[in-house]
Amino acid sequence: MASLMISLSSFVILSFFQGAAGGITFTFTNRCGGTVWPGLLANSGSSPLQTTGFELGPGETRSLTAPPGWSGRFWARTGCAFDAASGKGACATGDCGSGEVECRGRGATPPATLAEFTLGGGGKDYYDVSLVDGYNLPMVVEAAAPGCPVTGCLVDLNERCPVELRAGGQACRSACEAFGTPEYCCSGQFGNPDTCHPSPYSQMFKAACPRSYSYAYDDATSTFTCTGTDYSITFCPPRAGTSSR
């Protein structure tokens, strides 16, 4: 009986460490001139992480762990004001509509720069930075493993955003959000890669940020892979030379 108890205990301990080792750590760093409020949304079938939204001051870093097989997206909210007593409030860009610091299963209101991940759970991880829903600040994603590609958008697109896409001077809308037509939204008869092609607006995004998704079918040059590693997400990376709004 004693031998059985020892064996069971060893199995539990080994399983615990194997499970912990199987997790992926996401480290968020704010290099903006002001505070940002990262939002987190798990895809359908993936459980929420330890938080769905938090405050991140200038220069601050915070890490979260995701289980194998997790998928979801991250973004930064800017210009937020939350009441200290009630915790209620809203953000100027990237607001998730929860009225709280926690997004609680709600996604970013466009325009917002998105980092998207699908963890392979032992196989390949897929990750990208997307401007399909517009842009609110620079972002870069880096894998900890050597040789895995860095992706993101280092440019302040708010400075070069066309007048018709500007969202209050604090963000740059996608052509789909601005005009709502099928050819810009890749919907209806344009809902496949054969009929939906880059627009002059998405080409502008692509020229500025060649590794980021610029429209719905921009997979070939915008999705990257790595295997079994941790990732860092930096808002307003140093070369961008911008600050949060």
pLDDT of residue 9: 41
Phi-psi region for residue 188, left (φ > 0), alpha (ψ -120 to 50) or beta? Answer: left
Judge if the upstream peptide bond of residue 38 is cis by omega within 30 degrees of 0: no
Mean pLDDT, residues 99-123 taken together:
95
pLDDT of residue 22: 64
Query: Hey, where are the domains in the chain?
Result: 24-240
pLDDT of residue 96: 98
At 240, is the pLDDT very low, low, confident or very high (cuts 50, 70, 90)? Answer: very low
At 142, is the pLDDT very low, low, confident or very high (cuts 50, 70, 90)? Answer: very high
The answer on pLDDT for 121 being more than 80 is: no
pLDDT of residue 122: 73
Where is pLDDT greater, at 121 or 166?
Answer: 166
Q: Is-contact 40 51, C-beta < 8 A?
A: yes
Within 8 A by CB and 6+ apart from 163, the residues are none
Fold of 24-240: Thaumatin (2.60.110)
Mean pLDDT, residues 28-53 taken together:
97
Q: Is-contact 113 132, C-beta < 8 A?
A: no
At 21, is the pLDDT very low, low, confident or very high (cuts 50, 70, 90)? Answer: low
Kindly report, residue by residue over 157-211, the tens digit of the pLDDT.
Answer: 999 999 999 998 899 999 999 999 999 999 999 999 999 999 999 999 999 999 9
Mean pLDDT, residues 16-31 taken together:
73
At 1, is the pLDDT very low, low, confident or very high (cuts 50, 70, 90)? Answer: very low
What percent of the chain is predicted at pLDDT more than 70? Answer: 88
Kindly report, residue by residue over 62-104, the tens digit of the pLDDT.
Answer: 999 999 999 999 999 999 999 988 889 999 999 999 999 999 9
Mean pLDDT, residues 140-159 taken together:
96
pLDDT of residue 85: 84
Strands (E), the chain: 24-30, 37-42, 61-66, 71-77, 81-82, 89-90, 114-118, 124-130, 139-143, 151-153, 166-167, 171-172, 224-227, 231-235
